[in-house]
Amino acid sequence: SEVKKIAVIAGDGIGPEVVAEAEKVLKVTEEVFGYKFETEHALFGGIAIDEKGTPLPVETLDICKSADAVLLGAVGGPKWDTNPKELRPETGLLGIRKALGLFSNLRPAVVFDCLKDASTLKPEVLEGTDLIVVRELTGGIYFGEKFRRQSEQGEEAVDTCAYNVTEVERIARQAFEIAGKRRGKLASVDKANVLETSRLWREVVIRVAADYPNVELEHVLVDNCAMQLLRRPSSFDVIVTENMFGDILSDEAAMLTGSIGMLASASLGEGSYGLYEPVHGSAPDIAGQGLANPIATILSLALMFRLTFGYEDAAAAIEAAVAQVLDAGHRTSDIAVDKSKAISTSEMGDLIVAAI
């Protein structure tokens, strides 16, 4: 079959370790399923700041653009936190999202059976929780004009939040499509009782809804959603919301599953192009010690197979292999009850490879 190009960004902290395991998985799926992949590594984030003087070097963007999909480990760390804005890893993150047109961020929040007890929520409340937050990723207050000015009350800072009809419509359509393939329930989250962007958001979502009569739509105010996620997490199927609200609610949703170290995410643009990364961060405190859990990154690869390449067989095989290894009781230290029996990052990777 056709060779698929994957840009691989290891990044900072535990990024290189978890990405290395995902690459092992990539290799074995080639052998097992006959797919062909070409990988190209690129510098991004803190390491790119150190080596190239910018978090998002032009070559990195070129490599990503010429690839069919991007696999990202994690970026950032205290080392770069006090840098000026242009020299911070998150500036690279915002830049790559915009440059690659990744307007949609999918963050599934599911409960792994073996991690049920890791949640701070009662098991009976969590039961059946399986939701996706669809977050708009290239608009809103993240990308609006920002500046300082003098006011009569001292220096003033300004951020601008803007959304146009096209931006809302494409993310809404995608969310309806996803909901239609799941349990058919979509919660659109906004603050329409206060924000003009939210009123536009709601108008467009209502208009798009007419094309998806089989999806049940509810509008939830963002403050209420922050509560309902706690009260009735299992009642949500797909949640669609703007950039800033999505940042907050997707983290809340991920944390309540107790499985945050195992969750994958996808950032998609037009067509099948996508960037895939674990939900967890670069965890600089445990970097380089073989302690990191590679499962979220490996599951991100499975998501890539499913959403970008349509390789459902390989995606399902990876997911089944992960489940099998967990069922057999293997744990990295982050999810081990008995830490003394924890296995290393590469041992976990090897076990998953063997299971495939």
Ligand X SMILES: CC(C)[C@H](C(=O)O)[C@@H](O)C(=O)O
Burial of 328: CB neighbours in 10 Å, binned 0-12, 13-18, 19+:
exposed
Out of 32, 194, 227, 337, which residue is the one contacting ligand X (CB under 6 A)?
194
Q: In the annotation, is 223 catalytic?
A: yes
Task: Report the relative pairing of strands 264-268 and 274-278 from DSSP bridges.
Answer: antiparallel
Q: Which residue number, 14 or 343, has a Cβ lying nearer to ligand X?
A: 14
d(CA 76, CA 282): 6
Closest CA to 320 of 349, 355, 347: 355
Site for ligand X in 72-91 (CB under 6 A): 90
* Sequence-ordered list of residues with C-beta below 8 angstroms from that of 159, at least 6 positions apart, any chain: 141, 144, 145, 146
For residues 25 and 204, which CB has a smaller minimum distance to a second copy in the complex? Answer: 204
Whether 251 is catalytic is: yes
- According to the annotation, is 76 in a ligand binding site? no
70 near ligand X (CB under 6 A)? no
The verdict on whether residue 306 carries a ligand-binding annotation is no
Query: CB of 152: closest distance to ligand X in angstroms?
Result: 25
Q: Which positions lie near a second copy, rule CB under 8 A? A: 88, 90, 94, 120-122, 125, 141-142, 144, 146-148, 151, 153-167, 169, 191, 193-197, 199-201, 222-224, 226-227, 230-231, 244-245, 247-252, 254-256, 260
Point out the catalytic residue in the list 35, 142, 212, 273: 142
User: Is residue 227 part of the contact set for ligand X (CB under 6 A)?
Assistant: no
Is 213 assigned to a binding site?
A: no
CA distances, 105 to each of 68, 78, 102, 206, 239 (Å): 17, 25, 7, 21, 11
How many Cα atoms sit within 13 Å of 13 on the Cβ side? 23
Q: Answer yes or no: is 97 a known binding residue.
A: yes
Residue of 113, 117, 223, 327 marked catalytic? 223
- Whose tokens are 């991690």? That residue is 115
CA-to-CA distance for 275 and 244, rounded, in angstroms? Answer: 19
The neighbour count for residue 218, using CB atoms within 10 Å, is 12
Cβ atoms 56, 285 nearer than 8 A: no
Find the catalytic residue in 5, 130, 251, 350: 251
Cβ at position 291, least distance to ligand X in Å: 22
Contacts to ligand X by CB under 6 A: 90, 93, 193-194, 223, 247
Binding-site members are 77-90, 97, 107, 135, 223, 247, 251, 281-293
Point out the residues that are catalytic.
142, 191, 223, 247, 251
Binding-site members for NAD(+) are 77-90, 281-293
